[in-house]
């Protein structure tokens, strides 16, 4: 609606979600109550054991989302209304950051921050990706054989659990690598914001640097 009614041409086309890979989640606006040190009462689900309920003491919960990850774990995401957070004290320092490939960031004062290395989990994820693709291909062949032979009770993809185990293992290693990378970047950016008042960074894509020989 925003795209078709926009006359300035600043709003882009809408992006539609894929029909193949749907996120298993649902969102609600009902009230959530904190019933204990590590328990929340969610509508339709009842009492759920969770962590970090101490940060929800003086906030107003507006919306909640329950999400099932490909790893098989459930996550609860909360949208809350809080008072204005405390600001960091000024340091009077300025710095410029140069983004690179060998080093993640090089500061104008000479400090270097190395790139995050997640090669172990990425190698594991590639191994399980191959196993998952191979097992799923074999399962598809067996399902087609049952259809061609017109078996009374043909098997389906869901009746084979071996490829589903490989899918969970692949997702687990991918999630570990992504979580560690995200944690590293959050800690680095928080450290820079606490140390410097003004941060100048070049408008450059690191992927383009990797294309160079």
Q: Is 212 a residue whose pLDDT tops 70?
A: no
pLDDT tens sequence across 135-172: 999 999 999 999 899 888 888 888 899 999 999 999 99
Same domain, 75 and 146: no
Q: Give a yes or no: residue 109 inside a domain.
A: no
pTM: 0.72
Same domain, 123 and 62: no
Same domain, 76 and 128: no
Span 101-126, average pLDDT = 89
Same domain, 121 and 188: yes
| pLDDT higher at 125 or 55 | 125
pLDDT tens sequence across 65-81: 989 888 888 888 889 88
E strand or H helix at 113: strand 112-114
Q: Give a yes or no: residue 97 inside a domain.
A: no
Same domain, 77 and 120: no
Q: Give a yes or no: residue 210 inside a domain.
A: no
Same domain, 121 and 176: yes
Q: Is 213 a residue whose pLDDT tops 70?
A: no
| pLDDT higher at 14 or 77 | 77
Q: Is 12 a residue whose pLDDT tops 80?
A: yes
Span 80-109, average pLDDT = 86
Q: Give a yes or no: residue 211 inside a domain.
A: no
Q: What is the average pLDDT score of the chain?
A: 87
Same domain, 125 and 181: yes
- Write phi, then psi, for 98 (nearest 5 degrees): -110, 120
pLDDT grade, residue 179 (50/70/90)?
very high
Domain that holds residue 171: 116-195
C-alpha 115/C-alpha 188 separation (Å) is 11
**């809408």: which residue's tokens?**
14
Q: Give a yes or no: residue 93 inside a domain.
A: no
- What is the pLDDT, as a whole number, of residue 13? 82
- What is the pLDDT, as a whole number, of residue 206? 64
| pLDDT higher at 97 or 54 | 97
Q: Is 173 a residue whose pLDDT tops 90?
A: yes
Same domain, 130 and 186: yes
- Write phi, then psi, for 99 (nearest 5 degrees): -90, 135
Same domain, 121 and 61: no
Number of domains in the chain: 2
Q: What is the 3-state secondary structure (H, E, C) of 144-210?
A: HHHHHCCCCCCCCHHHCCHHHHHHHHHHHHHHHHHHHHHHHHHHHHHHHHHHCCEEEECCCCHHHHH
Q: Give a yes or no: residue 88 inside a domain.
A: no
Q: Give a yes or no: residue 100 inside a domain.
A: no
Q: Give a yes or no: residue 130 inside a domain.
A: yes
């Amino acid at each position: 609606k925003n795209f078709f009614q926009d006359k300035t041409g600043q709003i882009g086309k809408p992006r539609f979600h894929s029909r193949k890979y749907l996120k298993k989640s649902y969102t609600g606006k009902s009230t959530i109550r904190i019933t204990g040190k590590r328990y929340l009462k969610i509508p339709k689900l009842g009492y759920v054991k969770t962590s970090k309920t101490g940060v929800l003491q003086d906030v107003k919960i507006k919306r909640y989302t329950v999400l099932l990850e490909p790893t098989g774990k459930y996550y609860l995401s909360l949208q809350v209304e809080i008072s204005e957070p405390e600001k960091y004290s000024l340091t009077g320092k300025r710095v410029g950051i140069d983004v690179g490939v060998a080093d993640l960031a090089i500061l104008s004062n000479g400090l270097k921050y190395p790139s995050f290395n997640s090669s172990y989990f990425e190698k594991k994820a590639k191994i399980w990706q191959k196993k998952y693709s191979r097992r799923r291909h074999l399962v598809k062949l067996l399902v087609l054989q049952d259809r061609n032979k017109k078996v009374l009770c043909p098997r389906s993809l869901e009746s084979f659990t071996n490829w589903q185990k490989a899918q969970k293992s692949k997702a687990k290693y991918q999630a570990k690598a992504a979580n560690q990378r995200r944690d590293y970047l959050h800690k680095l950016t928080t450290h820079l914001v606490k140390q410097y008042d003004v941060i100048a960074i070049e408008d450059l894509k690191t992927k383009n640097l990797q294309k160079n020989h």
